Amino acid sequence: MTKPPTTARAAAAPPCTSGRLADGREIVFYDESPRARRVIADTRDLPPVTGHSEIRYDPLLDEWVALAAHRQARTFLPPADRCPLCPSGPGRATEIPAPDYDVVVFENRFPAFGGELGRCEVVCFSSDHTTSFSRLSPERVRLIVDVWADRTVRLAAHTGVEQVFCFENRGAEIGVTLDHPHGQIYGYPFLTPRTRRQLDSAHRHRDRTGRNLFADVLAAERDAAVRVVAETAHWTAFVPTAARWPVEVHLYPHRGAPDLPALTSDERDDLATLYLDLLARLDALHGDAAGPLPYMACWHQAPVHTDRDLARLHLEIFSVRRAPGRLKYLAGSESGMGVFINDTLPEQVAARLREIGPTAARDAPRSAP
């Protein structure tokens, strides 16, 4: 992983305690402040994880596909009192063997792939079942950024991992199977199609212009300004000119960092503030009657071994909700041919998000997810 510049404040690794669950999976507790080392004791009688995944090659699209039939048996939208991501309590042991926690990461019991085929982890953002990422404190979000960075370093060190992907899915419309505020981290054993295509474009752009494609995209959006949603000293959030989704915002650091571990302490502080502002604006976009916005938040990082000089860190956050009560479905053109047809204009979405403003977004009532 790339080191931050020596002239900037390097970010320290967050305090953590690592242990094992009853079936041998790793679990790591991350705390906002230093504390006595946790004692991790999972008292459950769990059978060994036996799920088997395959990765098969599609020669027509030159892509890999993961097959994980054991995921059919994973937990699906349990009631709050049976949530496996809540802390353990008297008479009820969960995936988290502790009465409270700040942020916890553990190996997924129902991974899309694992073992020699990469690694899949769950990241619990809070012990509070009723909260959401947008309602966390800046201090908690800053810790989560540090956790993403730390897990990126650790997963990248695993043999066979080629790309580390941190992401969050929120909302039933997206297809989440657990309501508790959480995200996931995948250590892919291959370069994903989306990343490979972006890097191919970056190669052609550099050969043609001698410049970095991602830097030029950011510069063009900042110069045009019409699609910029918000800016800080270190970051810019904008709706891309060719947005595919009804609501889509990209978040770029001004400095060309390849991945989350490369962010300085100041950049991480700034990110925590802007990310909360952006999520609050998104939740307020369709009004409180529509409820919190369902979204996917996806961090694009440089691959572990390939084209790290070309790739640039950035976040893509998007929603399938095109209006209150109306969703964007991937129909024939999108699913069959890969050609997106967007019903909203990027400039109008950006203008609306700017109009909401940080104060209005912060003060807007928010429903539980």
Nearest-angstrom CA–CA distance, 103 and 271 = 18
Which pLDDT belongs to residue 49? 82
Structural domain contains residue 30: yes
Is 163 in the same domain as 207?
no
Query: Alpha-carbon distance 270 to 348, whole Å?
Result: 26
Domain that holds residue 320: 195-363
> Which CATH number do you get for residue 358?
3.30.428.10
349 and 241 inside one domain: yes
Residues annotated as part of the active site: 182
Question: Which residues of 101-246 form beta strands (DSSP E)?
Answer: 103-107, 119-124, 163-170, 182-188, 228-231, 235-238
Domain match, 23 and 148 both: yes
Same domain, 157 and 275: no
Domain stop point among 188, 211, 246: 188
Residues 141 and 219 placed together within one structural domain of the fold: no
What is the pTM (predicted TM-score) of this model? Answer: 0.94
> What total of structural domains would you count in the chain?
2
Helix (H, G, I), strand (E, B) or coil at 185: strand
Q: Is 203 annotated as a binding residue?
A: no
Residue written as token pair 């409180």: 288
Cβ–Cβ under 8 Å, residues 20 and 27: yes
User: 267 with 10: CB under 8 angstroms?
Assistant: no
* 5: in domain: no
Return averaged pLDDT per consecutive 10 residues of the chain, 369 residues in all: 64 91 96 82 89 90 93 86 96 95 96 88 97 96 98 95 97 93 97 97 98 98 98 98 98 98 98 97 86 95 96 98 93 96 97 85 49
Quick check: 10 and 84 in contact, CB under 8 A?
Answer: no
- To the question of whether residue 16 is assigned a binding role by annotation, the answer is no
- Residue ending a domain, among 188, 215, 232, is 188
- Residue 111 CA neighbour count, 13 Å, CB half: 25
In a domain, 170, yes or no: yes
Same domain assignment for residues 207 and 165: no
User: Which of 163, 188, 213 is at the close of a domain?
Assistant: 188
Measured in degrees and rounded to the nearest 5, phi and psi for residue 359 equal: -70, -45
Per the CB < 8 A criterion, the answer to whether 342 and 246 are in contact is yes
Contact 187, 301 (CB under 8 A): no
Residue with tokens 């790739």: 311
